[in-house]
Amino acid sequence: MMEQLSVNKNTIFSSSVTDETLVRTGTISDGSCAYHSILHAFSKDYMKMNVEHRQKFVKKIRSNISKQVTKEKWLAIDNGLLSNLLFQQKFIFVLNKFKHVLNTNHSDRFMELDIKEDKKVYEILFEILPFNEEFEQNIIPQSIVENSIKETCENIIKIAVEKLKNDENVNQVTDTKKQYLVDKLKFILNYILKNTEKIAFEEYVSIIKNPKSFTDVYSINLISDWFNRNVLFINGDTRLPYKHASNYDPKRKTVILLWLNESHYEVVGKLLERNRVQREFSEEDDIIQKIKSHLDL
């Protein structure tokens, strides 16, 4: 198993994907190692900095990138998979917050919504459709459309309304009362879903901005576009290419990152004559062509 290198230390390693002698270089391990690795590959200014100044530099970059993240960009990352995954997680979180308000006698406010007049109605609705038994175990799993929050929301409301209408107790009330319950359920679910999307988006922006937050593969596209560099990856365990940013552009330069112990990125280069190391590659470079061939790019 490869051990993480100290900052700036170079070590030779090999990969069966190429006959070239590869060099990996240690990078700062602070949650922003992907940024440090990419900058180490091409930025002469970054290379001249000490560790403290590099961290301040990356902190500023992450802050600037976070300001460029619109909701539209967030919804489009990895064809909508990232935003929907975060949305699902936050939906359960917000549902549980609402459940806590319903179970608390001294609180009649849910987020910005005063529910005092309708609290008893909501208690009845969520007795019919329990949070854990219905929403977490049935409604949410049945509603997921992997790349569309909008369709997922529509499905959640549709399935919840159908279950409410099919409840034997609800079927015993008049059509007017039944419609009243349906309207109240639609209202509160729309409110919860709208706020869930807002919370999920804001948390993602906060993660991008925070220099201590680890950069997952879903965020690589944003970083790749910011630096105008393609990013390819080699798995530290197999020493083989295993992933790439989905926005790969053959017109851009490419950097290679080593994914180490599922927790850290280091930058990969090619050993040249006189112990020089090349860490930025053009589309025509042999190592890029071999990695792309391995990944069927």
The H or E element containing residue 46 is helix 44-48
- CA–CA distance, 231 with 268 (Å, rounded to integer): 11
Domain boundaries, the chain: 10-68+214-295, 73-209
pLDDT tens, residue order, the chain (297 aa): 789 999 999 999 999 999 999 999 999 999 999 999 999 999 999 999 999 999 999 999 999 999 999 999 999 888 888 899 999 999 999 999 999 999 988 888 999 999 999 999 999 999 999 998 899 999 999 999 988 999 999 999 999 999 999 999 999 999 999 999 999 999 999 999 999 999 999 999 999 999 999 987 778 888 999 999 999 999 999 999 987 666 889 999 999 999 998 899 999 999 999 999 999 999 999 999 999 999 988
Q: Under 8 Å CB-to-CB from 48, ≥6 apart: which residues? A: none
Q: Is there a contact between 268 and 256 (Cβ–Cβ < 8 Å)? A: yes
Question: Nearest 5°: phi and psi at 57?
Answer: -60, -45
Residue 240: the pLDDT is: 95
Class of domain 10-68+214-295: alpha beta
Distance CA 193, CA 174 (A): 28
Strand ranges inside the chain, DSSP E: 10-15, 18-25, 109-110, 113-114, 229-235, 241-244, 253-260, 264-271, 277-278
Give the separation between CA 84 and CA 152, rounded to whole angstroms: 8
pTM: 0.86
Instruction: Calculate the CA dihedral of residues 11, 12, 16, 20 and round it to 10 degrees.
Output: 130
CB 230 within 8 A of CB 224: yes
Strands 253-260 and 229-235: parallel
Sign of CA dihedral 3, 6, 7, 8: negative
